[in-house]
Amino acid sequence: MSLSPGTRLGPYEVIAPLGAGGMGEVYRARDTKLGRDIALKILPETFARDSDRVARFEREARTLASLNHPAIAQIYGLEDAAIVMELVDGEDLSVRIARGPIPLDEALAIARPIVDALEAAHDAGIVHRDLKPANIKLRGDGSVKVLDFGLAKAGPVGGTAMGSALTSPTITSPAALTMGGVILGTAAYMAPEQAKGRPVDKRADIWAFGCVLYEMVTGRRPFEGEDVTDTIAAVVSKEPDWTRVPAPLLRLIQSCLQKDPKRRLRDIGDAWSLMTEERGSPAPTRSTSWVPWTIAAVFALVAAAFGMLVMRRVEPIAPLVQFQLPIVEEAGAMPGALMSPDGQRIAYSSGNHMWIRHLGTLAARPVPEGDPIVVQPFWSADSRYLFMSSDGALKRTDEGGGPAQTICKLPGVLSGGFTDGDRVVFATVPGGIFTAPLAGGTPVSLFPPMGAYSLRNGALLPDHDHFVFMFGHPAEDKRGIYVTSLSRHEPPKRLLPDVSAVAYMPRPLGSSGSLILMRGGSLIAQPFDPRRLELVGESRRVVESVGGFSTSANGSIVYRAASPGRRLTWMDRQGNTLGTVGAPDQYLEVALSHDGAAAAVVRYEALSPPSTWVFDLARESSRRLAVLAIKPVWSADGREIVVATRDASAGSTTIDLVRMPQDGHGAPQRIVGGKLFVAARDISTDGKWLMYVQADPKTTKEDLWVISLLPGEQKPEPYLVTDYSETDGMFSPDGRFVAYVSNETGTYELYVRSFPVSAGGKWRISSGGGYQPRWRRDGKELLFFTADGRMMSTDVTVSPAFRAGIPRTLFRAPVFGGGASVTNHYWDLSPDGQRFLINTTEVNDASAMLTVVMNWNGADDLATAGR
């Protein structure tokens, strides 16, 4: 939470903000009881609402408060989810280093209290884990203070992992997970074992101290790179320039910077004795003889001649680095993430936000965007912008922040894209593949809408003309992965039969590369020659059980382990689990029959279009009703189900609403349809009216229409056609009102209108977002979901006039297995209004983590590489 000057937390009065970090905001405040200035570190609101996290936060703070040492910034206490800390004035060490190398005597005077502070912390069983110049303060009186032991974690300090992340999270890590495999800290000061995501102990602090000392006396970091990838590669594989280090400190710094922790200086307290001994040692004499220079010159000439004979230069290959990142709870259970082309950032989405995680920082941050419905985002080639579908348009937002810019209206549902020069190329379903100027403009079709195109993952080839993409089609011999040209009018060439996101990854040496895709739940590398546009070898399974992936242009991959699937779960009005239906699977929409005896469920199957299934809840059996059918709605008498379906014939883009006998016996009957997208929403209790959504591909906004189901009266009529999007229309039990969702305020909220509209009356129900409304059978209650997974209830009166109460939270839908909040809360209400059948997402420990692999050249098995 943000605090303004004058705000009081107990006896502490806020004076001014000091800064912000992964664990919240820090303020200068006045202790009115003791009459001294202090620092307040405020726990973020998302944490403060979690009692378990607050309790762990307080336990960690008490542990850190035990560090009573003159060179450690003191913790005074806790106050309303805030840490009360010693206020340390002065410049930090990074500012001093920026002015140039520090003379040896001055550097040793700074280093000694740092050693003493670390020794005291290690003796108390605490490891700092983020020691760097920015966390070291130089006070005006000459004293030194080590700050921000917030990455420290209490536990044994031997050569083992630092304990369970579930019982001892870090104070400044917003993910509250620091188990083995998770990178925390700043790349330039990470020990190699920390950069590889392995368990760390106090020797990681010793490494960081060596880095800080090196930087103090040389004015340069020992391990540097143009980006995070290069820096981590240098930490793992390269040696510092030892010629820059003053001779008295060479042995000490080399002992601290041993890449093998077993060979590293074991105890930080030994560092001071090494410094004392080395100060009295003479510097190594430097030869002034011409002989070494002559020998060196001869060898240089020989090396040059050899290079000319070989006629090629062998570049060193950066080592493979593999680590894991926890996904913040707000990020939901999406199947994958998007790595930027430069390999520096990862973006992933939830039902509420897009999040960006810089690999060199500790926390993910949300990307501001008004519309919570974000579909298939993708990065620009320069990694500066993130493109996404929002509010029916293709938009881009600067990854550094700022308002989103509209590129163009979307002619369909976005399914990925990429940029090249001053244009963006994107695909929609249905619609085709389009291009538009980056500055904004009207999209131009590159390919006609012959099926479901997907550009999930940027797949532009090195010639900046050809690209690979996925083409979905009902016909098995047509769907697959294709390659085609942006400039030439040549038919797309089918490369593989797989229906998968696809990316191209070049090899560091040579001109060939690999297509990266998913097959049977595994990540696959398929050798590919981008010049001849041909496969050049056998495909190989790289890692198994993958739920989603993305690649960068510099050879990095991010992937997420597959989750167990979705579970149809019965819950009561308190959110307690009452039972489940069937096994976990890839379920989407769910609709209960009016008698509660059956459920119509949409299920996705590998390499197949979505299909609608009917579950007999009493017999616990299921059968498929229709292929390529979504959005099921039961008829009033329960004998039929209306679905949205598309003709499976080649090239068809017609979408129809059809009614099918629910027992599977009898021919389907077309109700309405055509070239526009339509989806059924509800049928009135008297069986007369079908409410459906119709989306115009030219504007992409949704409108609510109705059509009579009585014989001879099937004529479509607009119900709500406005400048905004309206969806999720549901008839009240008496047929006099419709609950629906609209974005007329800029966010999707729940409303109620009279039916027909001419009867007058409109009421707004929600104030913080609302989706998927359901009426209780007696019409006295309206229920809906919020975007963050809360089931809301509103008492209503429909006679003689409509009146609604204030919505209240019944429960928050959980994710079984823990680790993230629920998105896509497809659900329905039992006839008695006491139970909810909710499509929840199961998450295990593996699927709650993102695995990042840097410098992968296509030759390693990611399941074993880096071990």
CA distance 88 to 428: 55
Task: Give residue 288's pLDDT band: very low, low, confident or very high (50, 70, 90).
Answer: very low
Domains, in order of start, for the chain: 1-87 (3.30.200.20), 92-283 (1.10.510.10), 321-563+847-854 (2.120.10.30), 565-843 (2.120.10.30)
Q: What is the pLDDT of residue 452?
A: 67
Q: What is the pLDDT of residues 545-554, one digit of tens each?
A: 887 888 988 7
Q: Of 157-166, 229-238, 490-499, which range is least confident?
A: 157-166
**What tokens does 779 get?**
């019409």
Q: Tell which wins on pLDDT, 356 or 450.
A: 356
Q: Tell me the residue length of the chain.
A: 867
CA distance 826 to 591: 9
Task: Give residue 297's pLDDT band: very low, low, confident or very high (50, 70, 90).
Answer: very low
Cross-strand partners of 519: 522
Q: Which of 361, 839, 264, 773 is nearest to 588 (CA)?
A: 839
The segment with the largest mean pLDDT, out of 153-157, 688-692, 700-704, is 688-692
Amino acid at 8: R
Task: Give residue 559's pLDDT band: very low, low, confident or very high (50, 70, 90).
Answer: confident
Q: Which of 781, 769, 815, 740 is nearest to 573 (CA)?
A: 781
Secondary structure (3-state) at 296: helix
> Which is the catalytic residue, given 31, 116, 130, 371?
130
Q: Tell which wins on pLDDT, 368 or 361.
A: 361
CA distance 678 to 700: 12
Residue with tokens 């035990």: 66
Q: What is the pLDDT of residue 510?
A: 53
Q: Tell which wins on pLDDT, 303 or 673.
A: 673
Angle of helix 202-218 relative to helix 247-256, nearest 10 degrees? 150
Mean of the pLDDT values across residues 30-49?
A: 79
- The vertex-826 CA angle with 821 and 828, nearest 5°, equals 125
**What tokens does 121 get?**
């912390």
Asked whether 598 and 662 are in contact (CB, 8 A), the reply is yes
Q: Tell which wins on pLDDT, 760 or 647.
A: 760
Please confirm, yes or no, whether 230 is among the known catalytic residues. Answer: no
Q: Which of 386, 346, 761 is nearest to 558 (CA)?
A: 346
Secondary structure (3-state) at 304: helix
Residue with tokens 């601290």: 256
For the cut 50, the answer to whether the pLDDT of residue 151 exceeds it is no
Q: Which of 760, 789, 754, 756 is nearest to 772 (CA)?
A: 789
Q: Tell which wins on pLDDT, 711 or 296.
A: 711
For the cut 60, the answer to whether the pLDDT of residue 396 exceeds it is yes
Query: Which segments of 620-676 are extended strands (E)?
Result: 621-627, 629-634, 640-646, 655-661, 669-674
The pTM score is: 0.54
Q: What is the pLDDT of residue 284?
A: 37
Mean of the pLDDT values across residues 296-310?
A: 42
Q: What are phi and psi for residue 258, nearest 5 degrees? A: -75, 125
What's the CA dihedral at 419, 478, 519, 381 to 10 degrees? 0
- The vertex-721 CA angle with 715 and 726, nearest 5°, equals 110
Asked whether 43 and 12 are in contact (CB, 8 A), the reply is no
Q: What is the pLDDT of residue 184?
A: 39
Q: Of 88-102, 510-524, 525-539, 751-765, which range is least confident?
A: 510-524
Asked whether 775 and 732 are in contact (CB, 8 A), the reply is yes
Q: What is the pLDDT of residue 863?
A: 46
Q: Of 305-309, 409-413, 441-445, 458-462, which range is least confident?
A: 305-309
Q: What are phi and psi for residue 838, nearest 5 degrees? A: -120, 135
DSSP-derived pairing of the beta strands 36-42 and 75-78: unpaired
Mean of the pLDDT values across residues 144-173?
A: 43
Q: What is the pLDDT of residues 129-142, one digit of tens each?
A: 889 998 899 988 88
Mean of the pLDDT values across residues 247-259?
A: 91
- Mark 233-272 as b/e (b = at least 16 C-beta within 10 Å): bbbbbbebeeeebbebbbebbbbbbbeebeebbeebeebb
For the cut 50, the answer to whether the pLDDT of residue 166 exceeds it is no
Share of the chain above pLDDT 70, in %: 76
DSSP-derived pairing of the beta strands 702-708 and 8-9: unpaired
Q: What is the pLDDT of residues 600-611, one digit of tens each?
A: 999 876 545 688
Amino acid at 174: P
Is the peptide bond between 113 and the residue preceding it cis, with omega within 30 degrees of 0?
A: no
Cβ neighbors of 792 (< 8 A, separation 6 or more) are 766, 770, 783, 784, 785, 786, 807, 808, 809, 810
CA distance 215 to 209: 10
Q: Which of 160, 134, 2 is nearest to 151 (CA)?
A: 134
For the cut 70, the answer to whether the pLDDT of residue 309 exceeds it is no
Q: Tell which wins on pLDDT, 501 or 169.
A: 501
Asked whether 643 and 664 are in contact (CB, 8 A), the reply is no
Asked whether 325 and 339 are in contact (CB, 8 A), the reply is no
**What tokens does 483 get?**
């390659």
Mean of the pLDDT values across residues 290-303?
A: 41
Mean of the pLDDT values across residues 552-567?
A: 80
Amino acid at 500: S
DSSP string, 323-366: EEEEPPGGGTT-S--EE-TTSSEEEEE-SS-EEEEETTSS-EEE
Mean pLDDT of the chain: 79
CA distance 127 to 153: 6
**What tokens does 558 get?**
């991010």
Q: What is the pLDDT of residue 205?
A: 93
Mean of the pLDDT values across residues 781-787?
A: 91
Asked whether 458 and 418 are in contact (CB, 8 A), the reply is yes
How far does Cα 307 stand from its chain's mean position? 46
Mean of the pLDDT values across residues 420-436?
A: 84
Cross-strand partners of 387: 378, 396
What's the CA dihedral at 754, 759, 760, 765 to 10 degrees? -10
Largest CA-CA distance found in the chain, in angstroms, rounded: 108
**What tokens does 422 get?**
């001053």
- For 62, the enclosing helix (H) or strand (E) is helix 51-65
For the cut 80, the answer to whether the pLDDT of residue 342 exceeds it is yes
CA distance 690 to 642: 9
Mean of the pLDDT values across residues 504-522?
A: 80
Q: Is the dihedral of CA 225, 231, 233, 237 positive or negative?
A: positive
Q: What is the pLDDT of residues 809-840, one digit of tens each?
A: 999 876 433 333 334 578 999 999 999 999 88
Residue with tokens 């308002």: 403
Q: Which of 669, 837, 834, 821 is nearest to 351 (CA)?
A: 821
Q: Of 63-77, 362-376, 770-784, which range is least confident?
A: 362-376
Mean of the pLDDT values across residues 843-867?
A: 60
